[in-house]
């Protein structure tokens, strides 16, 4: 009995952190070509109704103060409105891409990056995934580009010593043309 | 050998004061600001994060210690932020008004900050505090 409960709990826990699927994101307005990338991000963030311990909200975990920058309404209405979350995140991703371009971070596209025994070619989707470490002129990705792509430098890591290269590799190979306005720079979407 | 043990004792005895934990329970928020009232951030840092912003938002936590100094954790929501992290500084303001920055990094938005010894935590990760902390 106890084992069955444990398995059931593990299943629920897995479902709870699985994030939104590409299909549910498309139903909320995500362009189909970018749905796989969006689902990849959501998988490590949350579901439409998720609030975490820091007060970050929804399928893409907009943290306090940031969802208000892209949405006019309360936290509860944002949480209960998948279409609003997708619309906010689409605009956020487009803005992050613009920031990455203006700060020279897209110069990393096409370069090979290796970290912890894994390698990947930096694509536009890799840049957007790494923008979770900041796409500003003083962010982790900027530090990486400016230091010659040294994934082990302290200033390319977060407070848990996770390198921005981890995110570049995780995000490589997806179609993000709906955010960047460029033709897809990968043959097929990763899955 | 006796010297080593004595040195070890002195080191251990000195640790509790240095490792005293400081928490930052309350915050003051300056929204859509063009200038930081506490002058921890320059005017050039007061950029907007998203389309609904008219400037930066500075969230400031303060804690005063027994020696009269004030530790300030200042987090700015500006164009350098992601949806999870924002630039954050740990500053010590001495009783005579002199200031020094002890940490400067991207930290968790909505984080629960605490200073313990030579480490600043945002509740999610840890950041080294530069040597010289009093």
pLDDT band per the 50, 70, 90 thresholds, residue B105: very high
Residue from A46, A159, A161, A162 whose CB has the most chain B CBs within 10 Å, to mutate: A159
8 Å CB contact between A142 and A136: yes
The rounded distance, in Å, linking the Cα atoms of B24 and A87 is 35
Q: What is the DSSP string of A133-151?
A: G--STTSHHHHHHHTTS-T
Contacts of B33 (CB under 8 A, 6+ apart): B46, B55, B56, B57, B58
- A187 is a domain residue: no
Note the ipTM here: 0.88
B127 touches A: beta carbon within 8 Å: yes
Q: What pLDDT digit, counting tens, does each position of B59-79 carry?
A: 999 999 998 999 999 999 999
Residue A184, pLDDT above cutoff 90: no
- A43 is a domain residue: yes
- A120 is a domain residue: yes
- A84 is a domain residue: no
What value does the mean pLDDT take over residues A73-92?
98
In this prediction the pTM is 0.87
**What total of structural domains would you count in chain A?**
1
Residue of B nearest to A138 (CA): B80
pLDDT band per the 50, 70, 90 thresholds, residue B3: very low
What residues of A are in the B interface, CB distance below 8 Å?
Answer: 53-56, 60-66, 68-72, 91-92, 95-96, 99, 131-140, 158-161
- A68 is a domain residue: no
Structural domain that includes position A119: 2-49+94-180
Q: What is the DSSP letter of A157?
A: B
For chains A and B, count residue pairs whose Cβ atoms are closer than 8 Å: 97
Q: What is the pLDDT of residue B27?
A: 87
- A72 is a domain residue: no
Phi first, then psi: what are they for B121, rounded to 5°? -110, 145
């Amino acid at each position: 009995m106890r084992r069955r409960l444990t398995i059931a709990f593990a299943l629920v826990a897995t479902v709870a952190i699985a994030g939104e699927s590409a299909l549910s994101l498309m139903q909320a307005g995500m362009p189909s070509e970018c749905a796989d990338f969006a689902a990849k991000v959501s998988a490590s963030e949350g579901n439409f109704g998720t609030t975490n311990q820091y007060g970050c909200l929804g399928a893409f975990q907009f943290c306090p103060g940031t969802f208000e920058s892209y949405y006019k309404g309360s936290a509860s209405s944002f949480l209960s409105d998948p279409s609003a979350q997708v619309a906010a995140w689409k605009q956020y991703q487009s803005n992050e891409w613009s920031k990455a371009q203006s700060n020279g971070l897209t110069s990393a596209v096409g370069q090979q990056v290796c970290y912890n025994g894994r390698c990947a070619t930096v694509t536009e989707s890799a840049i957007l995934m790494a923008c979770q470490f900041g796409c500003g002129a003083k962010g982790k990705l900027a530090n990486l580009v400016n230091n010659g792509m040294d994934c082990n430098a302290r200033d390319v890591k977060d407070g848990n010593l996770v390198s921005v290269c981890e995110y570049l590799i995780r995000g490589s190979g997806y179609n993000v043309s709906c955010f960047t306005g460029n033709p897809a720079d990968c043959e097929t979407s990763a899955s | 050998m006796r010297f080593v043990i004595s040195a070890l004792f002195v080191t251990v005895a000195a640790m509790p004061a240095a490792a005293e934990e400081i928490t930052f329970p309350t915050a003051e928020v300056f929204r859509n600001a063009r200038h930081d009232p506490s002058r921890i951030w320059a005017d050039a840092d007061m950029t907007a994060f998203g389309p609904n912003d008219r400037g930066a938002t500075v969230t400031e936590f303060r804690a005063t210690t027994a020696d009269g100094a004030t530790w300030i954790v200042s987090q700015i929501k500006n164009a350098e932020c992601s949806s999870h992290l924002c630039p954050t500084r740990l500053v010590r303001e001495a009783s005579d008004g002199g200031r020094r920055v002890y940490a400067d990094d991207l930290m968790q938005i909505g984080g629960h900050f605490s200073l313990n010894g030579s480490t600043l935590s945002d509740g999610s990760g840890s950041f080294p505090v530069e040597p010289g902390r009093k």
